[in-house]
């Protein structure tokens, strides 16, 4: 049986919150359930997390849960008539003193007073993900006066971006701080931080997550132009994160759609080189909100991310509020499997010029070199506490499955996001050391994944309670 290596993140929402729908999503191939804290109540998120855990256990699957913080989404206020039509060439004013419910086609309130400090004449402001474009003419103490350069309909509470970035809003809001405490309460496995500009934004989020009593890993959403201004800025964020998300909505608006694909590829490459996770997100199968089948362009988009070796691809509105959430996960799984049949997805460029900094990294990458050059290897077994060794392994392209053997539920779920890594519950500390290897192999034989004469690679540490302690590798023949 061909096993999919690329993982699927799907957002839960009104269309996918019943026990029946969540079960269908898990059966269809869901690996990570995303809770979008921009929408829904705390009780909604508590209930969805509870259902995911219960149904995953029923099916013997390990599903990670990601809590996605809203961040400082900068928005216009509301219109008297709910919606206006802006015409090219007309004047339009954004004011932080205009009544929030009284917007017209001439002026609208804003919920971010500092916009007047962030804007200068000649700047371009993009509303509603770039569907409406304004050019700044002048700035007063409480208002930004603009001319509409791309017109169209504009409705309540749409987001504002500045072309090229430069919005100074802090990455973490008071709501985010509350949601971090909620994330800790429901024991999410990942916390995604929206709109970080610098590594310090991620470090602050990690401190808050730890103070809340959570061990969740931190995913930095790359969606500001400043974050991709150059390799130094990008790497500074990646290095202090556990993984990154290519959040193509706001990022595409700020950098322009023409540059987005190249930047996406650069983010994936840098994340993998720095041994971090990477998720590709936003509009991957957008048409499936209202259609049971994806377009050819969407199929190509997902497949290209897979060929670039992203860890996961993500569904947003397609699974949260669309008409075909299960079909979207099914289609995404099918496309991932198809792309993974290409030989390039298993052909590695090993890091022959690199010097390793850790013992477990040295063992992990040595194991991958052996697996990719010894044709008899059918599986890699990594006995791990934190999951760090299989994470490092999965940074190298390979067709050999990596099995994360761990006793810790948090690590079992966390590994659901690692490309080509599959969880096997296993407590080596309770087994006679002389029998650990045989019992580890037996686990895969019982599942029909190994047969007599196959070779496997097994990595472990001298002590099974030490995180980062992997210091040994064996190549074993299945009896």
Active site residue 131: no
**Kind of pairing between the strands at 83-86 and 107-109:** unpaired
Any idea what DSSP says for residue 79?
Answer: B
Cβ neighbours for 444, distance < 8 A, ≥ 6 positions apart: 379, 381, 403, 424, 450, 456
Residue with tokens 């052909």, as numbered in its chain: 347
Residue 444 Cα distances to 17, 58, 105, 255, 450, angstroms: 33, 20, 65, 47, 6
Query: Looking at 5, 7, 34, 397, which residue is catalytic?
Result: 34
Residue reference for tokens 């087994």? 431
Joined together, the tokens standing for residue 73 give 């989404």
Question: Tokens 């540059």 label which residue?
Answer: 259
List % helix, strand, coil for the chain (3-state, nearest 5): 40, 25, 40
d(CA 357, CA 127): 45
**What does the radius of gyration of the chain's CA atoms come to, in whole angstroms?**
24
Place of tokens 């930047």: 263
Of 55, 351, 69, which Cα lies nearest the Cα of 205? 69
Residue 60 zone, left/alpha/beta (φ > 0; ψ -120 to 50; rest): left
- Cα 93 from Cα 61, distance rounded (Å): 53
Give me the sheet containing 107-109, strands edge to edge.
107-109, 91-95, 143-150, 132-139, 124-127, 160-162
Please pick, among 75, 131, 266, 443, the residue that the annotation labels catalytic.
75
On the 0-12 / 13-18 / 19+ scale of CB atoms within 10 A, 231 is: exposed
Choosing from 48, 221, 224, 397, which is the catalytic residue? 221
The reply to whether 272 belongs to the active site is no
Tell me if residue 53 is catalytic.
Answer: no
Beta bridge mates, 64: 32
- Tokens 């299960």 belong to 326
| Cβ contact 154:82 at 8 Å | no
The active-site residue out of 6, 11, 280, 282 is 282
Q: Which residues are catalytic?
A: 34, 75, 221, 282
């Amino acid at each position: 049986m061909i096993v999919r290596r690329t993982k699927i993140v799907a957002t839960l929402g009104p269309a996918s919150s019943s026990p029946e729908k969540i079960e269908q999503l898990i059966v269809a191939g869901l690996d990570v359930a995303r809770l979008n804290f921009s929408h829904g109540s705390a009780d909604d998120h508590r209930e969805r997390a509870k259902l995911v855990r219960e149904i995953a256990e029923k099916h013997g699957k390990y599903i990670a849960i990601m809590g996605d913080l809203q961040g400082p989404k900068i928005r216009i206020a509301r219109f008297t008539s709910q919606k206006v039509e802006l015409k090219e060439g007309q004047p339009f004013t954004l004011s932080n003193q205009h009544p929030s419910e009284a917007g017209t086609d001439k002026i609208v309130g804003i919920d971010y007073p500092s916009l007047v400090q962030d804007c200068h004449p000649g700047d371009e402001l993009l509303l509603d993900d770039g569907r409406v474009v304004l050019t700044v003419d002048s700035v007063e103490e409480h208002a930004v006066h603009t001319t509409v350069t791309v017109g169209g309909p504009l409705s309540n509470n749409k987001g504002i971006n500045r072309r090229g970035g430069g919005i100074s809003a802090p990455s973490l809001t008071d709501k985010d701080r509350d949601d971090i405490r909620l994330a800790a309460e429901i024991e999410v496995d990942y916390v995604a931080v929206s709109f970080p500009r610098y590594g310090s934004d991620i470090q602050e989020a990690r401190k808050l997550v730890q103070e809340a009593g959570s061990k969740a890993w931190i995913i930095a959403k790359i969606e500001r132009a400043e974050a991709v201004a150059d390799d130094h800025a990008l790497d500074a964020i990646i290095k202090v994160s556990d993984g990154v998300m290519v959040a193509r909505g706001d990022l595409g608006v700020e950098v322009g759609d023409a540059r987005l694909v190249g930047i996406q590829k650069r983010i994936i490459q840098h994340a993998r080189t720095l041994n971090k996770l990477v998720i590709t997100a936003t509009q991957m199968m957008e048409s499936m909100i209202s259609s049971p089948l994806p377009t050819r362009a969407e199929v190509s988009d997902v497949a290209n991310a897979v060929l670039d070796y992203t860890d996961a691809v993500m569904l947003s509105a397609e699974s949260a509020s669309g008409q075909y959430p299960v079909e979207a996960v099914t289609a995404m799984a099918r496309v991932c499997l198809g792309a993974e049949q290409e030989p390039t997805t298993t052909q590695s460029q090993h890091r022959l010029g690199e010097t390793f900094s850790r013992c477990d990294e040295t063992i992990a990458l040595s194991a991958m070199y052996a697996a990719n050059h010894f044709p008899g290897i059918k599986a890699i077994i990594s006995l791990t506490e934190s999951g760090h060794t299989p994470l490092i392994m999965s940074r190298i392209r390979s067709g050999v499955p990596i099995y994360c053997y761990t006793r810790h539920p948090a690590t079992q779920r966390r590994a659901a996001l690692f490309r080509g890594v599959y969880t096997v519950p296993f407590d080596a500390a309770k087994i006679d050391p002389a029998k650990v290897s045989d019992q580890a192999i037996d686990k895969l034989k019982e599942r029909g994944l190994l047969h007599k004469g196959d070779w496997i690679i097994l990595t472990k540490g001298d002590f099974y309670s030490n995180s980062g302690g992997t210091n040994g590798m064996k190549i074993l023949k299945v009896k």
